[in-house]
């Protein structure tokens, strides 16, 4: 007997979720809906979904599981519409949004109607977007957070967890407020800081145009996340406003303390500031060492010291291609005061970076460093 799954929104996350669920070997029938028919059609032609629904309502009415893989504001609107849909009695509803408080507040009305909603946030991403980038292994070794509503029994949570098990994500249960507070610290707030650093550079560039050339090294890596979709980050900032304001207050206090430290100009205090930061940072879990991905999507970089002679880059890329190791980006660093290695190759997974490092270490004489 088939289990019916409805996925609303067939972008990178929705498409990858469909592929991941299908890997489990169960009799799963996936109905998909996307406001772009071209997207839904591609998902169907690629076998990501089994049927295209004419509307979100039609996709959900026979479903045993419903996933809203849409932006948070869209998901909330769909949850409101779902109050008037005729759904199966034991259906489980979930989402994939990166802020959970607004979602779980909206879920209270579903709870009053006797429906079970279990919030979800797969903490994985890609340098590409859209259904064309969907892949079944996207969530492997990434945290998949579930935020159950009060109506969700342990049995129903286990039922959803079992459906998601083929994704090979690390499923954890968190309170919605706790989730939003932690993601504010390690994901949302860093995006604001990165964007503000880029803003400072842009202001400086008006008077010193060459400064942007010097930013091609560590500064570029540090602020990479500022290149993310501004529409998405506008929404996240609005949705997680209270937590972000708390983080900003703490940051401003910290900056005042650092300013006072620099004014005081005490070498021991300055050393202690950098030493404590280094010690704590060095204790953070490393994906290179096999830990799961965190909340902040990043590519994984390998810095390589290469000699300056013709053909050296093509030599390295050929070695990786022969081993079926995909790269997401490659660039030469000219400003090297704060980076290791002139050639930077980016990979999407820690496993790809590890494999690349091992094969290059065997076949070349170039020194390599992990960032």
Mean pLDDT of 32-37: 95
pLDDT digits (tens, 9 = 90+) for 129-157: 789 888 888 888 889 999 998 778 999 99
Between 336 and 271, the higher pLDDT residue: 271
pLDDT digits (tens, 9 = 90+) for 292-314: 555 555 567 787 877 767 788 88
For residue 34, pLDDT over 60 is answered with yes
Phi, psi of 188 (to 5 degrees): -70, -50
Mean pLDDT of 269-286: 89
For residue 322, pLDDT over 60 is answered with yes
User: Which pLDDT does position 278 carry in this prediction?
Assistant: 92
For residue 340, pLDDT over 60 is answered with no
Report how many helices (DSSP H) and strands (DSSP E) the chain contains, helices first.
Answer: 15, 12
Q: With b meaning 16 or more CB within 10 Å and e meaning fewer, what string describes 33-67?
A: bbeeeebbebbbeeebbbebbeebbebbbebbbbb
For residue 77, pLDDT over 50 is answered with yes
Mean pLDDT of the chain: 87
Q: Quickly count: other Cβ atoms within 10 Å of residue 324's Cβ.
A: 8
User: Which pLDDT does position 341 carry in this prediction?
Assistant: 54
Residue 208, CA distances (Å) to 57, 213, 216 in order: 56, 10, 15
Beta-carbon contacts of 256 under 8 Å, excluding residues fewer than 6 positions away, are none
User: Which pLDDT does position 288 carry in this prediction?
Assistant: 45
User: Which pLDDT does position 126 carry in this prediction?
Assistant: 65
User: Which pLDDT does position 289 carry in this prediction?
Assistant: 47
Mean pLDDT of 159-173: 94
For residue 106, pLDDT over 90 is answered with yes
User: Which pLDDT does position 348 carry in this prediction?
Assistant: 74
Question: Smallest Cα–Cα separation from 98: which of 126, 75, 65?
Answer: 75
CATH ID of 299-370, from 3.40.50.720, 3.40.350.10, 3.30.420.10, 3.30.70.260: 3.30.70.260
Express as a percent the part of the chain with pLDDT over 90. Answer: 58
User: Which pLDDT does position 297 carry in this prediction?
Assistant: 53
Give me the CATH topology for the region 179-288. Answer: 6-phosphogluconate dehydrogenase C-terminal fold (1.10.3660)
Q: Is 179-288 the same fold as 3-174? A: no
User: Which pLDDT does position 295 carry in this prediction?
Assistant: 55
- Place 355 in a pLDDT band, splitting at 50, 70 and 90: confident
* Strand stretches in the chain, DSSP E: 3-8, 28-33, 51-52, 65-68, 92-95, 116-122, 143-148, 170-173, 300-304, 329-332, 343-347, 368-370
User: Which pLDDT does position 368 carry in this prediction?
Assistant: 65
Separation between Cα atoms, residue 215 and residue 345, nearest integer Å = 18
User: Which pLDDT does position 327 carry in this prediction?
Assistant: 83
Mean pLDDT of 65-75: 95
Task: Output the CA torsion 158→154→140→289 (10° steps).
Answer: -130
pLDDT digits (tens, 9 = 90+) for 17-33: 999 999 877 899 999 99
Between 298 and 327, the higher pLDDT residue: 327
Architecture of domain 3-174: 3-Layer(aba) Sandwich (3.40)
User: Which pLDDT does position 257 carry in this prediction?
Assistant: 96
For residues 18 and 7, is the Cβ–Cβ distance under 8 A?
Answer: yes
For residue 337, pLDDT over 50 is answered with no
- The residues facing 5 across adjacent strands are 30, 65
Express as a percent the part of the chain with pLDDT over 70. Answer: 91
pLDDT digits (tens, 9 = 90+) for 203-225: 998 889 888 878 766 787 788 88
User: Which pLDDT does position 137 carry in this prediction?
Assistant: 85
Domain ranges of the chain: 3-174, 179-288, 299-370
């Amino acid at each position: 007997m088939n289990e019916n799954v409805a996925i609303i929104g067939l972008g990178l996350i929705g498409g990858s979720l469909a592929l991941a669920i299908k890997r489990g070997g169960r009799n799963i029938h996936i109905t998909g809906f996307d406001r772009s028919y071209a997207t839904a059609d591609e998902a169907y032609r690629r076998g990501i979904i089994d049927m295209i629904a004419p509307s979100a309502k039609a996709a959900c009415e026979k479903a045993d599981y419903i996933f809203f893989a849409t932006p948070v504001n869209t998901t909330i609107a769909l949850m409101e519409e779902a109050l008037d849909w005729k759904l199966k009695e034991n259906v489980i509803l979930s989402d994939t949004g990166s802020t959970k408080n607004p979602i779980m507040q909206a879920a209270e009305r579903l709870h009053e109607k006797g429906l079970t909603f279990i919030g979800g946030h797969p903490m994985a991403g890609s340098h590409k977007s859209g259904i064309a980038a969907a892949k079944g292994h996207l969530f492997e070794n990434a945290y998949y957070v579930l935020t159950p509503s009060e109506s969700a029994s342990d049995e129903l949570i286990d039922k959803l967890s079992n459906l998601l098990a083929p994704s090979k994500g690390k499923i954890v249960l968190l309170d919605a407020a706790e989730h939003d507070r932690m993601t504010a610290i390690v994901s949302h707030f860093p995006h604001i800081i990165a964007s503000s650093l880029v803003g400072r550079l842009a202001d400086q560039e008006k008077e010193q145009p060459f400064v942007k050339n010097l930013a091609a090294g560590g500064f570029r890596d540090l602020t990479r996340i500022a290149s993310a979709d501004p529409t998405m980050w506008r929404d996240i900032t609005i949705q997680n406003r209270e937590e972000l304001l708390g983080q900003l207050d703490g940051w401003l206090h910290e900056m005042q303390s650092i300013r006072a430290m620099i004014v005081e100009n005490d070498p021991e205090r300055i050393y202690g500031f950098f030493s404590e930061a280094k010690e704590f940072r060095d204790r953070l879990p490393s994906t290179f060492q096999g830990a799961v991905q965190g909340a902040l999507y990043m590519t994984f970089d390998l810095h390589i010291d290469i000699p300056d002679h013709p053909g050296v880059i093509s030599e390295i890329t050929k070695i990786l291609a022969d081993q079926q190791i995909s790269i997401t980006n490659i660039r030469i660093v000219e400003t090297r005061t704060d980076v290791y290695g002139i050639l930077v190759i980016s990979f999407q997974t820690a496993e790809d970076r590890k494999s690349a490092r091992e094969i290059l270490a065997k076949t070349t004489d170039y020194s390599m460093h992990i960032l």
